[in-house]
A and B are shown apart, each in its own frame.
Chain A
């Protein structure tokens, strides 16, 4: 690096040698100080410009961050509310085809949707044509009947009575109601109507006029798994899938990573094997994540014939992916423990294993945990390798263990973003908000741990 200094030196020697030259009274040649002063303004301008470029770059980065977050929150906040319509539902035992309320089979097969259709027909008595009726039925969600079933299961006495219920609306209506702004005003200019017909809009507006449409907190979103119907889709399945996958990843990658770090820091001699391990770890840290998906597909699925789509498999692949990160940060944490502690323990007769287990490991633990949490955060947001090993399947059930088919949050986001229904846009954004929420919590925890527990020697 002598080159730049030499360059700099040669530039600055010319002005210093010039004064001797300019001592001679040469009238038409400007003095050095004049030359410097003449350029000074220009140089200061360049300085300011350079600084402005720097500020602009930092500003651009921060602006993008703000844009990203406002865009996601702006699109997703409405998904935490869900539109409901108030209907007087007559729980007619004949129409439901239930004569024995204690019979589980009858409860399961009853025609709840029919009762809701009846309620809609009663509410809008003037709708006679078949086509119009079909449009009318589309006001409520296909899944609204499940709520009736739950109601009857909890309270069988309601059979045969008429109840005023809040019923889940269809996703098109939901989007319409959310985009028209405040419910007390008339619909705005840019209201999104989508596939709705004039008549349907008229019905919805009349319901709004009677205060029969309301937006309530969407607890459904957090309680159920995926669905083809946007208003019925929830993220619980994906969250549980992510949880199981992360458990497998943590249970495998943390012990293995810490053990590998201890070996490399405290046992490894400088030989070809150690060198080879280190080269491998450094390279693996930078291998594109999709390559790990190919590995999982070829080795775990094709060779060992593990079933697809299960959190165990996802956890294995993510373990291999996060191991380098955890090993590297654990090594840094072990390195930060001062050798004096090790020497003191050795001096009073502790064995190498005792030194490591009793002294080095407890002292390095906060640093290792920080690294592990950051590695987990990276694994939680990872999508590409999981696409390869079949975690993109459409799975409605909430997984109950590491061997159940499951999907994970980022993959759920990918799946929903591919769906054509407009209502899935807000669901996707809401799922992103949940994912980012988890990541922010994990990163804050890591920073807090580092600040709180890490000792400086």
Chain B
């Protein structure tokens, strides 16, 4: 039975269990004199209780099985391979396993495969078959047995409602904990791989080295392939592009927020604000395309007419477009904090004879400053973590320069180029991407935490 049929069967089993439980409670109620009032809970709860007894273990079994069956099947097949093949390195063994599963699927290309491969493919097919059967069998047995168990326990005085509500709360709690699990997953995945990276490359070289060229040689005598993992050019490139973006986005977003919240009429505001926010809703890959095909050639041609040589993958183009993308982040967050400044402060200043702009500059903005700082920090974290625009519009060569007309590369670009396509998991080249990811995670986390802290502290003052 394949997975979708199995899930359908489980769903039917749950529905049947619900009806059984409900029916039994009602039958018990009918047999007594006082009817339903004899029951501790509504029949619904007895049905739900039986259904939960059936559903929770079945779903857990299926999930566990799906997660771990591949690994177990693989180890069974490997155990059956000839001694010589089993002792191969893990990469080569992976290749062998790949060809075995291809044979099992019936995709034989080229010459007739070796007999041990054919035998292994046979084993693979039979083990998979057994695994499917075992899964179906265990799910059906456990589901039916537990349904019967729960069904047989139903008594009028059983506190079904309390139990069901308890289970409901636990399920909700498990869902809420997904957020914690995700964070842990992120932290562990980047930290473990980074630690493996730092075994071969010292942390100090990674953080302070100024030469980045992650190509590793396949053979020892190959030319130019020792690999250098000094990430400083990447950090500088990221900072350069983010700085250009912020130079565009912060004044523009802030002034737009001020205009929309202090000057614009309600009608203008209702139309213009959502339109500006469209800028934030456009997918980044679209900005990347725009930057690479329209803005970058435009800037290059503009530079050529003035007599400057501009790279066609200049940091300026990527930063400019990224700045446009971030404008709505700055403006909507700043708008919120500016609107939160009490009207009495403005009224006081205006009553003393200052003009509107003087009120804004000397009263409103200082009062809203922490919130604005928070929004700028959030925008900076956005800019640092932004991927698609720089992948498509910025360069690949790691150059240590502060010239916005030259091509630079960023942390995110390197992560993408190192990890897209096939990769082996024990070369420092691949692992360095996780080290870069760790840096990115830490930096954005600190920026976000600090921004939220500043904003929160500010909010408490007026609430």
Contacts and interface: CB of A to CB of B under 8 A. Distances in A.
Interface in B161-193: 161, 164-165, 168-169, 171-173, 175-180, 182-183, 185-186, 189-190, 192-193
The residue among B285, B415, B441 with the most chain A CB atoms within 10 A of its own CB is: B285
B437 A291 contact: yes
Interface string A58-69: 101110110010
B180 A280 contact: yes
Given A55-B259, A290-B387, A290-B440, 18 more contacts: A4-B362, A4-B367, A8-B352, A8-B362, A12-B353, A44-B355, A61-B256, A61-B328, A260-B172, A280-B180, A291-B190, A298-B190, A298-B192, A320-B185, A323-B179, A353-B168, A384-B412, A414-B392
A57 B179 contact: no
B71 A305 contact: yes
Contacts of A282: 448, 452
B179 A324 contact: yes
B165 A352 contact: yes
13 contacts: A4-B363, A57-B252, A71-B294, A259-B171, A283-B183, A287-B186, A288-B381, A288-B385, A289-B385, A304-B68, A353-B168, A414-B391, A436-B286
B176 A58 contact: no
Nearest to A281: B179
Query: Could you say which interface size class chain A belongs to?
Result: 35 or more
Given A61-B252, A68-B286, A304-B67, A351 B259 contact: no
A384 B172 contact: no
Contacts of B440: 288, 290-291
A381 B352 CA distance: 50
B175 A263 contact: yes
A235 interface: no
A294 B183 contact: no
Q: Is the interface of A mostly helix, strand, loop or mixed?
A: helix
A228 to B, nearest CB: 17
B357 A50 contact: yes
Interface stretch (B29-37, B206-214, B273-281): B273-281
Interface string A17-61: 000000000000000000010000001101100110111111011
Contact of A414 (B161, B178, B288, B433): B288
A451 B356 CA distance: 34
A257 B178 CA distance: 9
A1 B366 CA distance: 8
Given A4-B362, A64-B279, A262-B172, A277 B285 contact: no
Contacts of A50: 357, 360-361
Contacts, number: 280
A360 to B, nearest CB: 13
A410 B178 contact: no
Contact of B362 (A7, A71, A353, A443): A7
B290 A417 contact: no
A290 B415 contact: yes
Contact of B357 (A51, A61, A304): A51
B444 A288 contact: yes
Interface in B45-90: 67-68, 70-71, 74
A208 to B, nearest CB: 28
A19 to B, nearest CB: 14
A277 B256 contact: no
Contact of A383 (B180, B284, B348, B385): B284
A65 B275 contact: yes
Contact of A54 (B256, B289, B452): B256
B255 interface: yes
Given A282-B452, A432-B286, A263 B169 contact: yes
A259 B461 contact: no
Contacts of B292: 417
A302 B425 contact: yes
B301 interface: no
B340 to A, nearest CB: 11
Interface in B343-383: 345, 348-349, 352-358, 360-363, 366-367, 378, 381
B386 interface: yes
Is the interface on chain B under 10, 10 to 19, 20 to 34, or 35 or more residues? 35 or more
Contact of B415 (A75, A294, A327): A294
Nearest to B458: A1
Contacts of A110: none
Interface in B213-241: none
B165 to A, nearest CB: 5
A57 B186 contact: no
Contacts of A414: 285, 288, 388, 391-392
A446 to B, nearest CB: 11
A351 B165 contact: yes
A287 B452 CA distance: 13
B388 A5 contact: no
A119 interface: no
B303 interface: no
B441 A56 contact: no
Nearest to B370: A1
A259 B331 CA distance: 32
A128 B279 CA distance: 57
| Most A CB within 10 A of own CB, among B254, B327, B388, B415 | B388
Contacts of A299: 185, 189
B405 interface: no
Contacts of A71: 290, 294
B26 interface: no
B444 A57 contact: no
A286 B378 contact: yes
A40 to B, nearest CB: 9
B366 A4 contact: yes
A281 B285 CA distance: 26
Contacts of A51: 259, 263, 357
B324 interface: yes
Nearest to B180: A280
Contact of A65 (B172, B182, B190, B278): B278
B282 interface: yes
A435 B286 contact: yes
A259 B441 CA distance: 27
A290 B272 CA distance: 31
A381 B71 contact: no
B182 A295 contact: yes
B448 A286 contact: yes
A58 B260 CA distance: 8
B283 A435 contact: yes
Contacts of A108: none
A417 to B, nearest CB: 5
Contacts of B385: 287-291
Interface in A395-432: 410-411, 413-414, 417, 425, 428-429, 432
A380 B286 CA distance: 12
Contact of A295 (B173, B189, B328, B448): B189
A411 to B, nearest CB: 8
A232 interface: no
B433 A351 contact: no
Contacts of A277: 176-177, 179-180
Highest count of chain B CB atoms <10 Å: which of A57, A267, A304, A320? A57
Contacts of B348: 5, 8
A387 interface: yes
A268 interface: yes
A417 B392 contact: yes
B420 A392 contact: yes
Interface in A70-92: 71-72, 75
A443 B282 contact: no
A148 interface: no
Nearest to A381: B283
A95 to B, nearest CB: 31
B389 to A, nearest CB: 10
A320 B180 CA distance: 11
Contact of A5 (B256, B287, B345): B345
B251 interface: yes
A291 B186 contact: yes
